[in-house]
């Protein structure tokens, strides 16, 4: 529950006396840009964290914030969730990692298979990136084809093929009916670009046409049912239907990337939207806040990992795969997430989206909200975007989001500017109303740049 007396007190990171500023100048001497993740927000410098408590974070200058980031949606129970702390403490006292399997990993695998449709078999890895990578390798081995298709603007981690067009913009994204394959980093091999077909999310006709044209080389299409970095876009039913039809007709596998969206419900996100994947990549919440990923799916596809009869088609190892600390933390977190917990989170999410929308209507502001369950994004646009191109921000809109994020932090809320906001189980109605009130105060202040007030 918010201790409002402490919210927002203390030095801001940019101020000369702040400890964040001191930490950042030390960080800059050892890290290329002062940090070790490109995703760390900085305005103008990063905020260094001292500790977390439930739904709250306390920075090194003693300022307290309601955390809507939760390490990029991972911490569904917030910070230092007691069952996770206990499970990790117990496990580390019996050993951090072994070259042998543990019974714990079977328990977590059984729990996940019991909840998530279309997972017959599963393998654990250490990150969502690895889960995506092995899902793609499995599809290649199973189909004997090497190319993949992905949706423009969708984020799937740091494996080269899925990085293609992750940050495409108007200057290089090409025609809407034939999106270009755009390099994400300087020096990305042309071979990767040539083997990655980029599709427009929610455009059924173009997706079907482009896949048909390239069908013989495609192993799989990777799709996040609600791509978050691309705008947390609601998937259209006819789009998913077209995707199924073209994949089934051409023996192309569907990989659902639910690394983030698994938190939409007890059984994840795919069933909610009628998506029927052959393989799934999952992560984040299943590790209780520790590093984890998993690839699961149809038994015949997952058989590519089977080393029972010698070298498998896809050898998958990993020093830290299924490490018992992550598995123990994940079990504690997932056991606490029963259907009731998901329903409660969803009700809080619905309330927050309703209150934000009511404030937007009241002030006749050019904002909108997308998302579902415990996830949401605020866009500086009057109509909810349906595609990555519609969700992309102009320089003026980026300024508006920067101003909004500053307003939120100034009032004690950490609000991810370019990513999905999320709720966690320690939050309550008062926290939700607090976020809505702070947003409404931003609209009421009426200091929006001209591009917003239309
Ligand atoms: C949809 C999606 N896929 C994959 C990943 C990569 O996961 P990780 O950061 O654990 O490698 C992320 C991370 O944010 C994600 O949101």
Task: Give the bridge partners for 379, in sequence order.
Answer: 368
At 10, give phi and psi (nearest 5°): 105, 170
Which residue has the least CA distance to atom 2 on ligand 1? Answer: 156
Whole-number pLDDT of residue 54: 98
Quick one: CATH architecture of 82-335? 3-Layer(aba) Sandwich (3.40)
Cα of 35 to ligand 1 centre, how many Å? 19
Among 71, 127, 128, 225, which is best to mutate for testing ligand 1, by the most ligand atoms less than 8 A from CB?
A: 128
DSSP state of 78: -
Closest ligand 1 atom, residue 229 Cα:
16
Cα of 453 to ligand 1 centre, how many Å? 35
Residue 36's alpha-carbon distances to 46, 187, 190, 413, in angstroms, are: 11, 21, 27, 23
**Tokens representing 343?**
């329903």
Residue 78 to residue 64: CA distance in whole angstroms: 14
Helix axes 324-335, 82-93, angle to 10 degrees: 150
Which residue has the least CA distance to atom 7 on ligand 1? Answer: 128
Residue 209 to residue 250: CA distance in whole angstroms: 12
Among 156, 256, 291, which is best to mutate for testing ligand 1, by the most ligand atoms less than 8 A from CB?
A: 156
Gyration radius (Cα) of the chain, Å: 22
Whole-number pLDDT of residue 223: 98
A 10 A CB-CB count for 145 gives 19
Which residue has the least CA distance to atom 16 on ligand 1? Answer: 260
Cα of 224 to ligand 1 centre, how many Å? 10
Contacts of 8 (CB under 8 A, 6+ apart): 63, 64, 409, 410, 411, 412
Q: Are 156 and 162 in contact (CB under 8 A)?
A: yes
CA nearest 377: which of 366, 367, 387?
367
CA nearest 385: which of 370, 402, 400, 364?
370
CATH of domain 19-80+338-445: 3.90.1150.10
Closest ligand 1 atom, residue 258 Cα:
1
Cα of 259 to ligand 1 centre, how many Å? 6
Reading the chain (454 residues) residue by residue, the pLDDT tens digits are 445 445 556 677 777 679 999 999 999 999 999 999 999 999 889 999 999 999 999 999 999 999 999 999 999 999 999 999 999 999 999 999 999 999 999 999 999 999 999 999 999 999 999 999 999 999 999 999 999 999 999 999 999 999 999 999 999 999 999 999 999 999 999 999 999 999 999 999 999 999 999 999 999 999 999 999 999 999 999 999 999 999 999 999 999 999 999 999 999 999 999 999 999 999 999 999 999 999 999 999 999 999 988 999 999 999 999 999 999 999 999 999 999 999 999 999 999 999 999 999 999 999 999 999 999 999 999 999 999 999 999 999 999 999 999 999 999 999 999 899 999 999 999 999 999 999 999 999 986 654 443 3
**Tokens representing 224?**
């996040």
**Tokens representing 334?**
């997932």
CA nearest 289: which of 115, 114, 129, 73?
73
Cα of 417 to ligand 1 centre, how many Å? 17
Residue 447's alpha-carbon distances to 165, 365, 380, 403, 412, in angstroms, are: 34, 11, 14, 10, 20
For the chain, which residues make up each domain, given as ranges?
19-80+338-445, 82-335
Residue 4 to residue 430: CA distance in whole angstroms: 11
CA nearest 210: which of 232, 181, 233?
181
Collapsing DSSP states into helix, strand and coil, what is residue 207?
Answer: helix
Residue 158 to residue 140: CA distance in whole angstroms: 18
At 178, give phi and psi (nearest 5°): -155, 70
Cα of 73 to ligand 1 centre, how many Å? 10
DSSP state of 32: T
Cα of 132 to ligand 1 centre, how many Å? 8
Among 37, 74, 129, which is best to mutate for testing ligand 1, by the most ligand atoms less than 8 A from CB?
A: 129
Q: Are 355 and 432 in contact (CB under 8 A)?
A: yes
Positive or negative, the CA dihedral 140, 142, 145, 149 is negative
Cα of 16 to ligand 1 centre, how many Å? 35
Which residue has the least CA distance to atom 5 on ligand 1? Answer: 157
**Tokens representing 322?**
């299924």
Cα of 156 to ligand 1 centre, how many Å? 5
The distance from CA 86 to its chain's CA centroid, rounded to whole angstroms, is 26
Whole-number pLDDT of residue 12: 77
Cis peptide before 44 (omega within 30 of 0): yes
Residue 336 to residue 96: CA distance in whole angstroms: 23
- Residue identified by tokens 């993740």 is 37
Among 69, 160, 255, 260, which is best to mutate for testing ligand 1, by the most ligand atoms less than 8 A from CB?
A: 260
DSSP state of 392: P
Residues with CB under 6 A from ligand 1: 72, 127-129, 132, 155-157, 224, 228, 257, 259-260, 283, 293
Cα of 261 to ligand 1 centre, how many Å? 10
Cα of 328 to ligand 1 centre, how many Å? 21
DSSP state of 452: T
């Amino acid at each position: 529950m918010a201790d409002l007396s402490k919210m927002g007190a203390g030095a801001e990171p940019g101020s000369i006396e702040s400890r964040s500023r001191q930490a950042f100048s030390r960080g800059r001497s050892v890290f290329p840009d002062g940090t070790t993740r490109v995703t760390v927000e900085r305005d103008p410098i990063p905020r260094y964290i001292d500790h977390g408590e439930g739904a709250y974070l306390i920075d090194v200058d003693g300022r307290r914030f309601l955390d809507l980031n939760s390490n990029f949606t991972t911490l569904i129970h917030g910070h230092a969730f007691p069952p996770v702390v206990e499970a990790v403490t117990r496990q580390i006292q019996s050993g951090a990692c072994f070259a042998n399997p543990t019974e714990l990993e079977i328990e977590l695998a059984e729990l996940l298979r019991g909840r998530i449709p279309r997972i017959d078999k599963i393998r654990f890895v250490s990150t969502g990136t690895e889960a995506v990578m092995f899902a793609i390798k499995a599809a290649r081995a199973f189909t004997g084809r090497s190319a993949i298709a992905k949706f423009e603007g969708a984020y799937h981690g740091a494996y080269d093929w899925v990085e293609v067009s992750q940050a495409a913009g108007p200057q290089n994204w090409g025609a809407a009916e034939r999106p270009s394959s755009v390099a994400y980093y300087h020096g990305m091999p042309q071979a990767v670009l040539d083997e990655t077909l980029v599709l427009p999310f929610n455009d059924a006709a173009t997706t079907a046409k482009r896949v048909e044209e390239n069908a013989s080389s495609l192993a799989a299409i990777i799709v996040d049912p609600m791509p978050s970095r691309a705008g947390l876009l609601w998937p259209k039913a006819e789009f998913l239907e077209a995707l199924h039809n073209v994949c089934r007709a051409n023996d192309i596998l569907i990989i659902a990337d639910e690394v983030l969206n698994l938190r939409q419900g007890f059984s994840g996100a795919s069933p909610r939207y009628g998506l029927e994947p052959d393989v799934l990549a999952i992560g984040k919440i299943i590790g209780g806040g520790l590093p984890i990923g998993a690839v699961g799916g149809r038994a015949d596809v997952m058989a590519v990992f089977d080393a029972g009869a010698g070298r498998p088609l896809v050898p998958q190892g990993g020093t830290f795969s299924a490490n018992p600390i992550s598995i123990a933390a994940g079990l504690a977190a997932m056991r606490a997430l029963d259907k009731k917990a998901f329903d409660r989170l969803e009700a809080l999410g619905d309330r927050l989206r309703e209150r934000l929308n009511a404030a937007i209507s009241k002030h006749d502001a050019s904002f909108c909200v997308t998302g579902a369950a415990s996830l949401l994004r605020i866009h500086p646009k009057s109509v909810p975007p349906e595609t990555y191109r519609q969700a992309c921000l102009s320089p003026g809109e980026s300024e508006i989001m920067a101003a909004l994020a500053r307003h939120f932090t100034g009032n004690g809320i950490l609000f991810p500017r370019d990513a999905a906001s999320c709720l966690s189980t320690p939050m309550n109605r008062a926290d939700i109303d607090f976020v809505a009130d702070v947003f409404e105060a931003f609209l009421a202040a009426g200091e929006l740049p001209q591009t917003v007030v239309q």
